Amino acid sequence: MAHVAFVRRGCPVVLPMAFGRDGDRMFLHGSTGAGAFLASRDGLDVSVAVTHLDGLVFARSAFDSSMNYRSAVIFGRAVLVPAEDKQDALRAVTEHLVPGRWDEVRPPTPKELAATTVLVLALDEVSVKVRAGGPGDDPDDGEDRSVWAGVVPMRTVVGVPERSPLTDPALPLPPSVTSLL
């Protein structure tokens, strides 16, 4: 998930959105509401953050306590994806979220495509930050060694798939789901 910031009437707005990537282009796809904010013929200056939290860093002081993470912050002008490229852009978003799913489901109808706003942003200006590893641990730092220090890793996992009421229990899980498990 990406967090997309833009300026509306002089004030900052940030919204969570789904995204996809194709090489040096990023596609952004939000709810209709979010799309309406963002839709503009001339494009819209945005800043987009994608962040993964990898762990909690337990130092022996409050000051040195930290988090391990990877973040990318992109700056640029997002523009509407033209109608003829919209399907490919949506495929990129779906494939980013759930690889393989696009070819398992019904593609969008022309009406559905028309109701969908997708933006494209060039990955030209990107700031990447990574914090990894343990807390600073220096024999001469004067900290109290009776305090446990280290890292507690964090990750996102998937749970047990829950079929919808109208899905036949005999239907096997599709490859896009089993590959997540």
Task: Output the smallest distance, CB 151 to a second copy, in A.
Answer: 5
Q: Which of 41, 84, 110, 157 binds a second copy (CB under 8 A)?
A: 157
Cα separation values, 67 from 92, 149, 155, 177, Å: 30, 13, 13, 30
Contact flag: residue 170 with a second copy (CB under 8 A): no
Contact flag: residue 167 with a second copy (CB under 8 A): yes
Of residues 67, 65, 64, 63, the one with CA closest to residue 52 = 67
Of residues 135, 124, 150, the one with CA closest to residue 26 = 124
Q: How many residues are recorded in the chain?
A: 181
Tell me the C-alpha distance between 95 and 137, whole Å: 42
Residues 14-73 that bind a second copy (CB under 8 A): 14-16, 18, 45-49, 51, 53, 55-56, 58-63, 65, 67, 69, 71, 73
Q: Could you tell me which stretch among 19-27, 35-43, 151-159 binds a second copy (CB under 8 A)?
A: 151-159
Residue 150 sits at the vertex; the CA angle it makes with 148 and 151, to the nearest 5 degrees, is 135
Contact flag: residue 146 with a second copy (CB under 8 A): yes
Contact flag: residue 164 with a second copy (CB under 8 A): yes
CB atoms closer than 10 angstroms to residue 87: 18
Task: Compare residues 25 and 69 and give the one whose CB is closer to a second copy.
Answer: 69
Q: Could you tell me which stretch among 19-27, 35-43, 106-114 binds a second copy (CB under 8 A)?
A: 106-114
Residues 69-98 that bind a second copy (CB under 8 A): 69, 71, 73, 75, 90-91, 94, 97-98
